Amino acid sequence: MLMKRPVRLEAGQKLVLTANRLLDGRTVWWSAEGTWVPHIGHALLLDAEEAQVQLAHATEQAQHDGVVGVYDTAVQDSVPPEPVTVREKIRAHGPTVHPEFAVETAQ
């Protein structure tokens, strides 16, 4: 088994679990209900120790749940949580586009 390097949390940060749905490739987030949800605002915020347990469970259940690439990532401990890295911000909120070229979408 490949050991993952632990994410270093700074003050005011937590961890969330993320993956991609097999059906459509969409980014999903692990919720408090133990299900994968499409919006980071519903992601379960975890301490480092909690994240290890949840990550092991979610990884074990990934095939059953129809997801791939399960991992944890740091977010600001806020509502909704805000990813720390640019990569995760793009995964959570969509591609970066200059406002002049952005397409308005209803949610």
For the entire predicted model, the pTM comes to 0.83
In a domain, 33, yes or no: yes
In a domain, 72, yes or no: yes
Dist CA 40 CA 93 (whole Å): 9
In a domain, 45, yes or no: yes
Q: What are 17-46's pLDDT values in tens digits?
A: 999 999 999 999 999 999 999 999 999 999
Dist CA 107 CA 98 (whole Å): 20
In a domain, 32, yes or no: yes
What is the domain count for the chain? 1
In a domain, 39, yes or no: yes
Nearest 5°: the CA angle 61, 63, 19 is 80
List all residues 6 or more positions away from 66 whose beta carbon is below 8 Å from its beta carbon: 21, 22, 23
Dist CA 75 CA 70 (whole Å): 16
